[in-house]
A = this chain, B = another copy of it.
Amino acid sequence: MAKREIGVGLIGFGTIGTGVVRVLREHAQSIGERLGAPLKIVRIADLDIKTDRGVKIPKGMLTADARGLINDPAVDIVVELIGGLEPARSFQLEALRAGKPVVTANKAVLSAHGIELATAAEEAGVVLGFEASVGGGIPVIRALKESVAGDRNLEVYGIVNGTCNYILTEMAAGRGEFAEVVGRAQKLGLAEADPSYDVDGLDSLHKLVVLTALAFGKVIDPKAVHVEGIRSVSGVDMAYARDFGYTIKLLAVARDTANGVEARVHPAMVPNSHLLAKVAGAFNGVCLRGRALGTSVYYGQGAGMMPTATAVVADLIEAARSVLAGQAPLVLPYGQPAASLDKARVVPMADIEHEHYIRFQLSDKPGALAKITTILASVGISIATVAQHEKPSKGAVPVVMRTHRTQEKALAKALARIAKLAEVRARPVVIRVEETLGQDH
């Protein structure tokens, strides 16, 4: 093993980039011992080369020229942390084609172009590392790629967006409704100025696509996946959930079924007995169910400067080992040749069965409930429980129901008819109840 220095070039000097600089510096000695050579940042590219990030950077290390960084001979490994599709994709491809390993946290580009990028890495015989793209510092990518490589995975699901989980945790604790809590999360740096990517479920979707490829060896079209964010979750539904023994979480769920991959992102009521119900604040929890292994759970900080930087540095170490040994990595980016991943059908949401929580606002007149239950019965929906706890306010009574397992399309049909009733005073709120997570069904 040549005792030289491994040079890292960083594209994108935001929060995670700053964390990577800090981890590499603070743990330089132990990392050097592991590798037998120092691992050092030699170049950082960012459009903003003025702002102080709180870490000292030698003059001349910063550049606005990412392409120059990629082609700098001192750069052995390229870290892409700018996010988004372009120019991230082009930067990664250029680096890989130049024979340089790439490490990234960019789930958006992986979800859209993961196969193209992995293929380029395989052709170049270099590492494409993306542990940081899902679950921050939780090593769920490596677990899927290597640790369960001999199993057949049936299900991968969990809480993969720390921002949403923070917001829902605050709301569940009665510390405000959505808009108010988002404002607080923004002040704490837990939500972006424009929080849409997180709260509308897109971040979770991109992570789900990455997990699905690793867990099942199947590529799904993100556009075919049902995605609902958390904007419509309200304190009143959280209170009902609590009464029923559930916690509302934003879940990303993928199941490998005979009819295709069931993949979906939406708020759901999770039984309080499930470990995911205990995942609070900005933490993440990912559950994996395999035929041989059964259920395993990975829990930790799913975001934040230092946790995510840990994942980037783990990939850097893997890449550096390969560079130092002058060997191609033995494990491919997806744990199997990118060409061997199958394009899979996504099961339409309309065909999926759930128990449902439904909250109606009905006018306080006799017969309203009868009309609704009649319509539900006419499409074959069976009701498990009905609750009408509160006193009417402004002439409207909240009525909460829980259905037995019902196909989404039957429910949609019934709700379209119910919407036309004069007695219905607001759009009904529907939240799926996850009673079969981690079970054959």
Within 8 A of B (CB), among A237-259: none
- A301 nearest in chain B by CB position: B294
Interface residues on A, range: 35 or more
Inter-chain contact B149/A31, CB cutoff 8 Å = yes
Min CB gap A317→B, angstroms: 5
Beyond A139-B143, A275-B278, A310-B293, is A34–B336 a contact (Cβ under 8 Å)?
A: yes
Question: A150 touches which one: B27, B294, B335, B337 (CB < 8 A)?
Answer: B27
Inter-chain contact A301/B293, CB cutoff 8 Å = yes
Q: Does A364 contact B (CB under 8 A)?
A: no
Min CB gap A420→B, angstroms: 46
Give Cα A142 to B340, complex, Å. 25
Inter-chain contact B34/A335, CB cutoff 8 Å = yes
Inter-chain contact A151/B27, CB cutoff 8 Å = yes
Beyond A139-B148, A146-B142, A318-B146, is A300–B293 a contact (Cβ under 8 Å)?
A: yes
Min CB gap A211→B, angstroms: 15
Contact stretch, chosen from A319-327, A368-376, A389-397, A424-432: A319-327
- A331 nearest in chain B by CB position: B321
Please, which residues of chain B bring their CB within 8 A of the CB of A309?
292
Q: Does A63 contact B (CB under 8 A)?
A: no
Within 8 A of B (CB), among A27-73: 27, 30-31, 33-34, 36
Give Cα A141 to B337, complex, Å. 25
Q: Which among A34, A298, A335 has the greatest number of chain B C-beta atoms within 10 A?
A: A34
Please, which residues of chain B bring their CB within 8 A of the CB of A300?
293-297
A→B interface (CB under 8 Å): 19, 22-24, 26-27, 30-31, 33-34, 36, 131, 137-139, 142-143, 146-152, 217, 275, 278, 290-301, 306-307, 309-311, 313-314, 316-318, 321-322, 325, 327-331, 335-337, 340
